[in-house]
Amino acid sequence: MSYEAYELLTRLNPYSIKDLLKAHKIMMTDLVREAGTFRSKGVGVYAGTELIHAGSPSQYVPELMQELFAWLKESKLHPLVKSCIFHYEFEFIHPFADGNGRMGRLWHTLILAKWKEFFLWMPIETIIYERQKEYYQALNAANTNGESTVFVKFMLEIIRELLFELAENETDPSPPA
């Protein structure tokens, strides 16, 4: 994950597509031709040679992202749940040629950080990396079910574990090794 993008997080608006595109450009410049723009072609997620998810057709991506951001802004759901649903829907649409996972996780963090700033410093990205197989299983199960509940539960479990771990570290009287 680009440190520039994380530094930028405090200035990004989680309800702004313009800010999403700006963050993508920062993270993906020199890595992909369409950095900072929605993809112009089809895209898929593969496990080896097996297609496990095809992104929404590229011609629908701008409209789908407008709808997703409108939902994000208007939803009265708790930010913990809303951020997880957004993350799942973002990955389902797969709006970029590359960097969708990074951007989905970054935006998840941004949504949470706008609610409670300490989420900027929670290593959600690291935990997802450590549990990558389970992360993809949860995404695939949600795709199969046609709704995000499995993924939301998985992400909330990760966040809960992180919060408990942080709380234990705060109350542990023993000095660091």
Taking the C-alpha atoms of residue 98 and residue 102, their distance in angstroms, rounded to an integer, is 9
Residue 27 in tokens: 């993270």
Q: Which residues contact 173 (CB under 8 A, 6 or more apart)?
A: none
Give the span between the Cα atoms of 82 and 41, in whole angstroms.
28
Q: Quick one: which of 126, 103, 100, 102 has its CA closest to 14? A: 103
Report the DSSP beta bridge partners of residue 146: none
Beta-strand ranges (E) seen in the chain are 44-47, 50-54
Domain 3-171 in this protein, CATH class: mainly alpha
* pLDDT higher than threshold 90 for residue 24: yes
Q: Stretch 76-88: mean pLDDT, rounded?
A: 97
Q: pTM of this prediction?
A: 0.88
- The mean pLDDT of 139-144, rounded to a whole number, is 92
Cβ neighbours of residue 102 closer than 8 Å, sequence gap 6 or more: 1, 27
pLDDT tens sequence across 36-72: 999 999 887 777 787 777 889 999 999 999 999 999 9
C-alpha triplet 43, 44, 47: angle, nearest 5°: 155
> Domain-by-domain residue ranges, the chain?
3-171
